[in-house]
Amino acid sequence: MGAGREPYAAVRRALLSVSDPAGLPELARDLSAKGCELVATRGTGSHLDRERIPYRHAEELTGIGDWFQGRIKTLHPGLLGGILAPRDPEGVAELARRHLLPIDLVAVNLYPYERHLAEHPTASDREEFIDIGGVTLLRAAAKNHAFVAVASDPVDYPEIRAELAEHGGLSAALRLELARRAFERTTDYDAAIARTLGAPVSPGFPPRLAFATEPMRLRYGENPHQAASVYAPAGASAASIPRVPLELRKGESLSYTNLVDLDTAWAIVQEFPTPTAVLVKHATPCGVASGPTLAEALARAVATDPVARYGCVVAVNRTLGETDPDALKGVFVDLLAAPSFEGAVLSTLGHRPKLKVVEVGATPPVPNRWEARTALGRLLVQEVDRRELAPTDFRPVTTARATPPEACALDFAWRVVRHARSNAIVLADGSKTVGIGSGQPTRVKAVELAVEVAGDRAKGSVLASDAFFPFPDGIEVAGAAGVKAIIQPGGSLRDPEVIEAAERHGIAMYFTGWRVFRH
């Protein structure tokens, strides 16, 4: 019976040619343990040499070595014939007649063209990073997936190793899925080259956007009846952008809203260098605080809004200690995220059956450069707002001036309000929020909501507004509540009236000259 028709086809010979050696030693050892002969190109062989894993040099099958400084080394019938040959009697006979060896697995990842361009956007040598032989090997192996398995990314290795360990060979279903991934990878790779070859690459907007679906679907979308998936930029290998940029340590799979809320929460905690905790509901903060310890930051953040915090996502920017979750007692938390977890803290959280616990890791996901949404059947894309508030942006427009502690609180509030849904108002006392009003159709309603949430805590607080006050009514509400200082963009036709209202209430007001809308 032909190997392609066997439930689990043995891997008798494997060709290894990788630019990224991640996971290579483990794969090579498992293949060798199953009696597979390894064939490696020169660079890949050096990694195997360091691990003392035996292999044959690819040039033993080609007889040509490296031509033209390595541009031609695998484009040869000695390799391609062994990959593309069918395993029926006629194909096996032709392999023997031509003195070729069959190859049952090809592990190739391509020259890092995309990474090279990202790191050297003005590079003139980009053509040297265009892989030809690797693309050909991947496409050949994928075409012949009835008999050959292809690994186009190190993240494919665990599935291959698992089937080898359990069944001694690879299934037709896995070979088909690996072939699909390989064609997807070569498509993305060629698209990246086509977008950038001969065109200057600048930090501005890319001339063409393309996205490739990751092999992952979310539990559901914004509502359970909506399907949802995660997409990554085309050309980004799964090794550089993981299928899931975090590890779910506890709880059921994540939903669309979990990821949206977590993205907001993580962006906020990254604003602050000190221990910080954030509570997010519906992609907008409902409690943010920094403190000398993470436990204190959590307690302060939780205290902002006892009503809105129900079912929230919580993120912190420090390792979560065993006693830190004490601040969350009595609070229904849907998801808790931290860079890492100390000791037995995960066991401590085990009594919360519905809680999802996410570990972001020591190397957190790369911050988004672009953000997108749809409108009228089109994709809207913009740069993520990362503009920093400079000291010169604190332009005083009233007689009163903020005290140094109030100025620090204004900076804190501004960093938070940029992440709240507009119209957005944040009241802060020191390094903690005491009231947040967001997503309101009028600015005065956002102020009223923030003041209502703060209650008595509004007295002596400071206020940040994500855009200008079109009327003085919001200032009147803030002044009556006891707000001492305000930071806002300014630029309204009624700025003189707004400033006059602040003067009457003795409020120190500052204009930044730029807004931070987040619709």
Q: How far is CA 345 from CA 336, 374, 394, in A?
A: 12, 40, 42
Kindly report the backbone phi and psi dihedral angles of residue 67, in degrees, each rounded to the nearest multiple of 5, phi listed first: -105, 150
Residue 429 and residue 147: Cα distance in Å, rounded?
A: 67
Kindly report the backbone phi and psi dihedral angles of residue 320, in degrees, each rounded to the nearest multiple of 5, phi listed first: -80, 115
CB 238 within 8 A of CB 202: no
143 labelled catalytic: yes
Active-site entry in 34, 47, 167, 282: 282
282 labelled catalytic: yes
Residue 139 and residue 133: Cα distance in Å, rounded?
A: 10
Residues 6+ apart with CB under 8 A from 43: 17, 19
Residue 492 and residue 514: Cα distance in Å, rounded?
A: 12
Question: Which residues pair with residue 16 across a beta bridge?
Answer: 40, 107
Closest C-alpha among 396, 406, 423 to residue 485: 406
- Beta 333-338 vs 312-316: how paired, if at all? parallel
| Helix, strand, coil fractions of the chain, as percent rounded to 5 | 35, 20, 40
Kindly report the backbone phi and psi dihedral angles of residue 469, in degrees, each rounded to the nearest multiple of 5, phi listed first: -90, 115
Active-site entry in 143, 250, 281, 432: 143
Closest C-alpha among 182, 98, 186 to residue 141: 182
CB 215 within 8 A of CB 174: no
Collapse the DSSP code of 84 into the 3-class scheme (helix H, G, I; strand E, B; otherwise coil) and give the result: helix
Residue 394 and residue 486: Cα distance in Å, rounded?
A: 10
Q: CA torsion 211→213→216→218, rounded to 10°? A: 70
Q: Which residues are catalytic?
A: 143, 282
